[in-house]
Amino acid sequence: MATHDGAQLHVRSYGSAFGQPIVLIHGFGCRIEYWNPQINALAAKYRVIAYDQRGLGRSTLGSDGVRPDVLGRDLAAVLDAVLAPGERAVLVGHSFGGITIMAWAQRFAAHAVSAVLLANTIAERFSATTMLLPFADRYRHIRRPLITALAGSTMTLPSIRWSRWPLQRMALSRYADRQAVDFVYEILADCRTDVRAVWGAGLSGLDVTAGLEKLTVPTTVVTGTEDRLTPPAVAHRIAEALQVRGSLHRFARFPRAGHCTNIEVPYAFNAEIEQLADATR
């Protein structure tokens, strides 16, 4: 499907056309297949919709680049295209997918959405809160430029042999099994380095807190206790902000899981989606 700036978004739907719609929004450097554990488990009961965010997978970049507000407009366009009049979806966003949802909420009414799940995400100040480079706490004056440079790097990922340990440390947890680490590597290694750099630049000056404040539908927040990219303390602040506004549905902390909770603990993650969808049907 085409967007306002000429990007072509690759959208796929799984399961019955009459099932309750669940829309999955992936994060940085990923594509639809990142959601395989959710698609395979949920499509028998729900209508599961997933799309490649702009520039990733089989979607093109468009002329407006990658900023949270642009991604929010993309999500609005996807919802307009896949939902029938009066139909409402459950939105599930992981990492930058959660940022996309909050950016969408900042500009668009929630009439097409019944509930939201925000997993391992952040609303502001990524470089100040991530534990991606924990040693940088000792050198606060270089922390932001270091993390910004790393996020926007065009470096090609080394082979899985050399990437497995640093990837597991940064994106998963030390408890993640080899199959999970290898799967995440294959997804990330498939992302073009120039596109990854554009997405990384989108983290600079990130602030979608206004969108978080406008999330009025029941919202579940998910975190992993070992998440270094978006630490549990960040998820706790998001949950607190939602609770103040009366929209927090559940706050789920998955022990021994890192940033990729939907891959590391798929059964528990899927159970949270089902619980939220069934409670807000």
* Length of the chain counted residue by residue: 281
The share of the chain scoring above pLDDT 70, in percent, equals 84
| Strand residues in the chain grouped as ranges (E) | 11-14, 21-25, 47-51, 89-94, 113-119, 219-224, 248-254
Question: Could you tell me the pLDDT band of residue 58, with boundaries at 50, 70 and 90?
Answer: very high
139-148 burial, b at 16+ Cβ within 10 Å, e below that, comes to eeeebeeebb
The answer to which of 30-39, 68-77, 105-114, 230-239 has the lowest mean pLDDT is 105-114
Q: Which domains does the chain have, with CATH numbers?
A: 11-279 (3.40.50.1820)
- Distances in Å between the Cα of 164 and the Cα atoms of 106, 170, 181, 197 are 37, 10, 7, 21
The whole-number pLDDT of residue 195 equals 80
Cα–Cα distance for residue pair 179/266, rounded to 1 Å:
13
Q: DSSP label at 215?
A: -
CA 40 to chain centre: 18
Structure tokens at 166: 């640093």
- The pTM of this model reads 0.90
Tell me the chain's radius of gyration from C-alpha atoms. 17
Render pLDDT for 159-218 as a digit per residue (tens, 0 to 9).
Answer: 445 467 677 878 899 999 999 999 998 998 888 878 877 777 666 678 899 999 999 999
